[in-house]
Structure 1
Amino acid sequence: MRTRFRIRRSPTIVSVLFAALAVAVSGCGGNDAAPANVAAVTPAEKCSALAGMTVPASSIGLPTTGATIVSATLVADTDSGNSNGEYCKVLGTIHPVDFNAPDIRTEVDLPTNFNGKVVHFGGGGFDGTIASTEGSPADGFLLGAEPAGVSTPLRRGYVTVGSDSGHEGNALDGSFAANDEALANYAGDHIKKTHDFAAYIAKARYGSDFVHSYFIGGSSGGRQGLIAAQRFPQDYDGIISTFPASEITGLWLQMGRISQSLLAPGGYITPAKGKAVLAAVMKQCDALDGVADGIVSNPAACVFDPTVIRCPSGADTGDSCLSDAQINTMTTAGTPLNLSFNLANGIQTFPAYNAFSGADFWSTGLAWGASAADAVIEPGVVGESAFYYTFSNDMLRFAVARDAASSILNFNPANPGSLTSRIQAVSALMDSTSTDLSQFQRRGGKIILQHGQSDQFIPAQLSIDYYNRLVSRFGQGPLSQSLKFYLVPGAAHGVGGQFNGSYDGLTVLDNWVTKGVEPKDLTITDLTPATAGRTRPMCEYPHWPKYIGGDQNLAASFSCSN
């Protein structure tokens, strides 16, 4: 049993806070000038007045026992290492109903030069740490990076918000999921709770509500963005969902299935062998889009036979070929998982990875682990454990079976027997596969959905399938008024791949929401060190960039083709 400490407001804090509010401008701008005959309150005083403040449970739209501001610190424009201008860094905790559940730890960054808008940053993996709200959100395909000249949202005057989704840990640690409230927070409840906490704090600082609210996230954060549109449509005006784990239940089942092949005797594929796989794929498929540029721009046209790189007699004879067991691993990754039961929203399958058309599972040890032995280290260790194994194993052990002795390696993902109903319940809690975006659309909400064709963690086909279901419900024309879907060839999951593209997605989204400027003729820039600066058109699905002649490093040399 742990002891929870709460910070109470003192009369001094309250009096300073009310003095700050008395001079706050009623509009949303960053003007901190005081009216005549009222003593000026500095940004530093307004910031420090927030420290120790409590947020009542009644101001948070889902059940909590309130929230506490742990600290509020003014970061000066001239502080060493700060490139975001002057802002107030607020750290807080949102308290659970279940005393045994963890707090949700949050950060809200309040710029002195406030533009009236907020960007809510999504997390990734199992979360467990607060998103980097002082940096760049996942509006591109290289995590934390933007093209030259693109400032962070905080620097531009946006309030930035993030949380740990309701538990402390790392992206490979799912032990929190043994607690129902912690699991519900991770599944999506933390989105609403964090949003309402941030709105309360921002109003106390600026004296006004947000004019526009955006959510930007990738991976599980992309899933969170879709949940924001589906479950909390009144809170957000625009969303960028990058490589979303929308069917996260099917994802861990598929990752478990692949792990069984990967970790079977002889099934592990080293980075050296992975390099041979990619070289063979590029040799056959690279030029199918009109130019040999190291990118498979139309994976659907790439039909690769893995026996081309089979070792003689199927035995493992070196790094230049795959054994039969290793071909089985790649084939498993390259085929869908078909389930004997329905997940949320009637889904009964999880798609294949582009295993034989550019997905690079070896560019980082995070996907398949540093080695066959390291892959199964629990609790997960970043840089050693395999995400495929730890994510699926922890979901089974803590969220579903509630039995730490369970193992994904002895489990049937397609037909889980007595655990089927529990998996379905967790799917209903976590998956963001609903096509009901009606409320979000009615309030004018906009979504940019984007995925990389070389994604090694979440197959691009997952977003294609979700988009196609949306088209079936709304029709492509009506849907395009509120949602744009882009596939980026060569782009992977924040790292790896052949084209780590990025663009100023926040500005594109903001212009669509505030000015009605529909995204069109977008260009994405590669930030991969060896090929940095080359550009490609961002083609709205189902189009893909086809080479039409000229400098292969320029977007103008490609046309969006179907």
Structure 2
Amino acid sequence: MGTRLRSRRSWAIMGALLAASAVVVSGCGGNDAAPANSAVQTSAAKCTALAGMTVPAASIGLPTTGATVVSATLVADTDSGNTNGEYCKVLGSIHPVDFNAPDIRAEVDLPTNFNGKSVHFGGGGFDGTIPDTEGSPADGFLIGAEPAGVTTPLRRGYVTLGSDGGHEGTAFDGSFAENDEALANYAGDHIKKTHDFAAYLAKLRYGSVFVHSYYIGGSGGGRQGLIAAQRFPQDYDGIISTFPASGITGLWLQMGRISRSLFAPGGYVTPAKGKAILAAVMKQCDALDGVADGIISNPAACAFDPTPIRCSGGADTGDACLSDAQISTMTTAGTPLNLSFDLANGIRSFPAYNSFSGADFWSTAVAWGASATDATIEPGVFGKSAFYYTFSNDMLRFAVARDPGMSIFNFDPASPRQAAPRVQAVSALMDSTSTDLTQFQSRGGKIILQHGQSDQFIPAQLSIDYYNRLVSRFGQGPLNKFLKFYVVPGAAHGFGGQFNASYDGLTALDNWVTGGTEPHNLTITDLAPPTTGRTRPMCEYPQWPKYVGGDQNLATSFVCSN
């Protein structure tokens, strides 16, 4: 459990008054440097006054026992390594109701040049650490990166905030989920609690609440962004949800299904074999969009048959071919999981990956592990363990069965029998598949939903299916007024893929919210070598970029086509 820090708020306030008085005194006497020096000290005083204070439970919209500011430190514009201008870095702990549950650890960065707005950063995996709120959010497809000239939200004057999701750990560690409150916090409650904690601090620091609040996240953070719109619509004006794990329950069931095939005798597909698969797929499907540029822009047109790369006799005879067991693994990944029961919101299946049309499961060891032996290391080790295995196994053991002895290898993801009611309960808690965005829509909220066709962790079809359900509910015209959906060819899950797409999504969202300027004619830039700098049009689904002639590295050589 997180440490419960207690303090006398009156002393903090008195300290701020004394510091402010000192500033006034030092400003007297005609010193020309005094006004500038006064401003710096005033910022410092306002920042340090927050340290040690408590936030009452009544100021947080979901049950807690209040919150504590652990530290408040003024980061000067001239501090080494700081490129964000002057700001107050606040670290805090939001305390649970259940004594056995951990605190939510949060960071709130309060810029001196506050622009009236905030950006809430989403997490990923099993969370467990605070996102880099001093960096760039997941408004593009390459982790922590932006096109040249795009500065961080904090530098632009946004209050930035984020939390560890309600527990300390790693993206590979799901053991926290044995506790009900910790699981509920991870599922979505931490979003509201962190927002309200930050809003309370901002009101003290600036004397006003946020004029506009945005939530930006990818993967688990993308799911959190949709949760924010669905469950806490009054708190946010704009959302960027990038490759969201919206159907997270179906995701871990599908990952478990694939893991059972991947780690069956002979089923493991090595990175060397992955290169052979991708080369064969590109040879057959790359030029279907009009140009051989290393990107499959229209995966629906790619009907790849793995027979030509089957090893002679079906046995594993080397890196240039696939055995029958390995073809079975790839086929399993490339087919949907059909369930014998309903998940939340009537969902009864989980879609396939683009396993034979560009998904690169081997760009790093994170997805399928470093080797067949290392992939199943428990607890999960980044760079060795397979996220597919650890995520599905820990969700089963800790969130569902509450039995560390359970294994995904002895569990049928399609038909879990007596465990089905518990799986459904977890699904209702965690999944962001609801299409009820009416409150968010009615208050003028805006959403940018985006996914990459080469995503190796969450299939693009998951977002396509969700979007199609939204169209059915709202109608195409009304939906277009508050949600834009982009599917980007070649883009993967923060790294890997064939096109590491990036653009200034925050500005596009902010312009839409504050000025009513809908995102149109957006251009995305590849940030990964050796193709750094090439561009493509960002096409609204169901369109995709078709080559029409000219320099294949320029967006102007492509048109958005059906």
Give the TM-score, by structure 2 length. 0.96
Deviation at residue 15 of structure 1 after TM alignment: 1.8
Counterpart in the other structure of 1:14? 13
SS of equivalent to 1:42? helix
Deviation at residue 4 of structure 1 after TM alignment: 4.2
Report the CA distance shift for 1:18/1:238 in structure 2 as closer, same or farther (over 3 A): farther
Deviation at residue 39 of structure 1 after TM alignment: 11
Taking the TM superposition and a 5 Å limit, the aligned residue runs for 1:15-414 are 15-17=14-16, 42-414=42-414
Counterpart in the other structure of 1:501? 501
Counterpart in the other structure of 1:481? 481
Deviation at residue 16 of structure 1 after TM alignment: 3.5
Q: Provide Cα deviations, 1:294-321, integer angstroms capped at 9, x if missing partner.
A: 0000000000001121000000000000
Deviation at residue 168 of structure 1 after TM alignment: 0.4
Amino acid at match of 1:432: S
Equivalent residues of 1:21, 1:206 under 8 A apart:
no
SS of equivalent to 2:233? coil
Equivalent residues of 2:365, 2:384 under 8 A apart:
yes
Report the CA distance shift for 1:405/1:127 in structure 2 as closer, same or farther (over 3 A): same
Report the CA distance shift for 1:462/1:18 in structure 2 as closer, same or farther (over 3 A): farther
Q: What runs of 5+ residues in structure 2 fail to find an aligned partner?
A: 22-33
Partners of 1:21 and 1:334 lie apart in 2 by: 64
Equivalent residues of 2:9, 2:54 under 8 A apart:
no
Partners of 2:2 and 2:91 lie apart in 1 by: 20
SS of equivalent to 1:511? helix
Partners of 2:437 and 2:3 lie apart in 1 by: 39
Amino acid at match of 2:304: F
Equivalent residues of 2:267, 2:328 under 8 A apart:
yes
Equivalent residues of 1:21, 1:205 under 8 A apart:
no
Amino acid at match of 1:12: W
SS of equivalent to 2:169? coil
SS of equivalent to 1:106? strand
Counterpart in the other structure of 1:446? 446
Partners of 2:145 and 2:534 lie apart in 1 by: 15
Report the CA distance shift for 1:374/1:3 in structure 2 as closer, same or farther (over 3 A): closer
Deviation at residue 12 of structure 1 after TM alignment: 3.1
Deviation at residue 286 of structure 1 after TM alignment: 0.0
Deviation at residue 402 of structure 1 after TM alignment: 0.4
Counterpart in the other structure of 1:418? 418
**RMSD of equivalent CA atoms:** 1.7
Equivalent residues of 1:335, 1:351 under 8 A apart:
yes
Partners of 2:528 and 2:475 lie apart in 1 by: 37
Amino acid at match of 1:6: L
SS of equivalent to 2:261? helix
Structure 1 runs (4+) greater than 4 angstroms displaced: 17-22, 38-41
SS of equivalent to 2:423? helix
Report the CA distance shift for 1:362/1:45 in structure 2 as closer, same or farther (over 3 A): same
Identical-residue share of aligned pairs (%): 82
Partners of 2:12 and 2:246 lie apart in 1 by: 43
Counterpart in the other structure of 1:460? 460
Question: Aligned residue pairs: how many?
Answer: 549
SS of equivalent to 2:366? helix
Equivalent residues of 1:296, 1:358 under 8 A apart:
yes
Give the TM-score, by structure 1 length. 0.96
Partners of 2:495 and 2:104 lie apart in 1 by: 28
Q: Do structure 1's residue 546 and structure 2's residue 546 form an aligned pair?
A: yes
SS of equivalent to 1:524? strand
Deviation at residue 13 of structure 1 after TM alignment: 1.1
Deviation at residue 18 of structure 1 after TM alignment: 6.1
Q: What runs of 5+ residues in structure 1 fail to find an aligned partner?
A: 23-33
Partners of 1:49 and 1:332 lie apart in 2 by: 57
Amino acid at match of 1:540: E
Equivalent residues of 2:2, 2:93 under 8 A apart:
no
Deviation at residue 11 of structure 1 after TM alignment: 3.7
SS of equivalent to 1:196? helix
Equivalent residues of 1:105, 1:166 under 8 A apart:
yes
Amino acid at match of 2:213: S
Equivalent residues of 2:20, 2:42 under 8 A apart:
no
